[in-house]
């Protein structure tokens, strides 16, 4: 039998609410990500996060300037899961491809984060900067000079965000299945109406643009890109 508490010690009422967590930027971002995961990017707003934290929107602005900064901080939190490997000159091409894959997975871990990444041309949050530096280190480990590494890193970043953005749209249902199905039917009918003699290759390309070939297309692009970089180094 459990002894009752002594009379001088207060027993909290069952309905008494636990003390709220101390407000901080970390807590705001964590709460925003929870809303994002449960309800999608359109549900995330300063007001919605404040409601979840049982406070007023004005109190959030001491830690986050606006919704745009909150978006960038959510992206940064997602990128915190991406590893930062030590460059290995013997396998730099594989490391570059692995880094792109890791970044894509991180941006697809939450609905809408890839969209934030796409709409943020030059993110300057800690993990975004760290990922940019890591990619440049990997590329330079392969023998590229700084300008080549910067241009290559920029191209890889653009492709990575574009691939994650498109793939996220399918993964999280951003596209209306009925509308897409109708559009695909219309496109197929239109393509069949074209003269085969004028578009002999294009009319046969459709089979390679499906959800099943998505990963293969990514791997082909990465292989072609790093092979081109490696050839530049050998010259």
DSSP track, 160-203: HHHHHHHHHHHHTT-S-HHHHHHHHHHHHHHHHHS-TTT-TTGG
| pLDDT band at residue 44 using 50, 70 and 90 as cut-offs | very high
pLDDT at 20 over 80: no
| pLDDT band at residue 145 using 50, 70 and 90 as cut-offs | very high
Burial class of residue 123, CB neighbours in 10 A (0-12, 13-18, 19+): buried
| pLDDT band at residue 181 using 50, 70 and 90 as cut-offs | confident
Q: Give the pair of three-digit tokens for residue 101.
A: 């894959």
- What's the average model confidence in pLDDT over 177-201? 85
pLDDT at 172 over 80: no
pLDDT at 135 over 90: yes
| pLDDT band at residue 211 using 50, 70 and 90 as cut-offs | confident
């Amino acid at each position: 039998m459990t002894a009752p508490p002594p009379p001088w010690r207060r027993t909290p009422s069952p309905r008494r609410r636990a003390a709220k967590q101390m407000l901080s930027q970390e807590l705001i971002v964590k709460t925003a990500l929870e809303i994002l995961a449960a309800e999608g990017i359109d549900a995330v707003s300063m007001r919605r996060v404040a409601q979840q934290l049982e406070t007023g929107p004005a109190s959030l602005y001491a830690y986050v300037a606006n919704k745009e900064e909150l978006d960038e901080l959510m992206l940064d939190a997602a990128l915190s899961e991406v590893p930062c490997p030590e460059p290995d000159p013997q396998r730099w091409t594989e490391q570059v491809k692995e880094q792109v894959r890791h970044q894509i997975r991180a941006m697809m871990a939450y609905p809408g984060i890839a969209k934030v990444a796409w709409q943020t041309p030059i993110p300057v949050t800690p993990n975004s900067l760290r990922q940019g530096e890591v990619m440049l280190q990997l590329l330079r480990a392969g023998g590229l000079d700084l300008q080549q590494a910067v241009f290559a890193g920029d191209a890889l970043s653009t492709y990575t965000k574009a691939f994650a953005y498109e793939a996220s749209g399918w993964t999280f249902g951003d596209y209306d299945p009925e509308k897409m199905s109708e559009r695909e039917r219309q496109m197929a009918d239109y393509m069949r109406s074209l003269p085969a003699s004028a578009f002999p290759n294009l009319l046969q390309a459709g089979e390679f643009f499906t959800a099943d070939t998505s990963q293969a297309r990514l791997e082909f692009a990465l292989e072609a890109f790093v092979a081109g970089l490696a050839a530049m180094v050998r010259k």
